[in-house]
Amino acid sequence: MIKILASDGMEKGAIEALKAKGAEVVCEFFDPDALKEAIRGYDVIVVRSATKVREPHIDAAEDAGRLKLIIRGGVGVDNIDVKYAEAKGMTVRNTPRASSDAVAELALGHMFSVARFISAAGWSMREGKWEKKGYAKGVELGGKTVGIIGYGRIGQSLGRMCQALGMKVLAQDIYPVPELENENMKYVDLGELLAQSDIISLHVPSLPGQPLVSEETIAKMKDGVIIINTSRGANIDEAALLTALESGKVGGAGLDVFAEEPTKNIELLQHPRVSATPHIGASTTEAQKRIGAEIVDIIVKHFGL
């Protein structure tokens, strides 16, 4: 019997489908130290964002000789030491197609929230206030230029949505697809994107070295730029962002991810020009079903169930 650990949970339909194939599915979260022992007893581990599968876990699994497949239910695999696992003979997979539209829609939602003060105005009304004049200087998204850093599946989905709203899209990606270009969308280098975009949305994994949004890169952006991050918290220097929000250099930010999660950066969360969500980019009913179905498909094909 194939034994599967879903350490960050799994959609109910996927669990039922795997059980119907004769697999055992255990949904239980382990802290990093406990995971080193627990992982020894499974053929498959399925993770989302909370669980990190690092070299000590992989060593423990190799010692037990059982773990064959590591799956990230989502796009990025930066919470898994992929090359190390593959060198030990384990297969690492993800579900890149399943959550693209969900993440893109949340990024777009944050754009609306920041541009029209939806989050801030809503909270002020909960406090019994009616600050209509205070929120009278919102801006429309139509006609604006959005710079999308990382034009893969999520970036392309967001790009299509933005073009439908009458926005111009500037895209930066290490693997451009020229066929996607049209009169409202073109690939540019990072410098041009930073200088020309009214809104900048991040859709890349966390990279080594300096964050994408830093004091240096913010200085190259338009005054009043809106920054959206639904990718990885490490892509933004939060101290630099807060300083730029205070000065007005950055006009607003929509954040779904943070350098530390759960975040303790209360000053950033409570800033009046910040729209924040607790890493829910892929958390839609539809996306979870698609992720679950893709996980089932990967496991069934890998083990021939």
Residue 213 DSSP code: B
**Look-up of token digits 């200088």:** 195
Q: Which residues contact 126 (CB under 8 A, 6 or more apart)?
A: none
Active-site residues, by number, are 232, 260, 279
Which run of H or E residues covers position 275?
strand 274-276
- Rounded Cα distance between 290 and 292, Å, is 5
Q: Which residues contact 4 (CB under 8 A, 6 or more apart)?
A: 18, 23, 24, 25, 26, 42, 43, 44, 45, 46, 299
Residue 202 DSSP code: E
Which run of H or E residues covers position 4?
strand 3-6
How far are the Cα atoms of 46, 110, 172, 193, 299 from residue 222, in angstroms, in the given order?
41, 19, 17, 10, 47
| 246, 250, 255, 260: CA torsion to nearest 10 | -60
CB 171 within 8 A of CB 201: no
Question: Which of helix, strand or coil describes residue 182?
Answer: strand
Write the secondary structure of 224-256 as one string of H (helix), E (strand) and C (coil). Answer: CEEEEECCCHHHECHHHHHHHHHHCCEEEEEEC
CB 146 within 8 A of CB 185: no
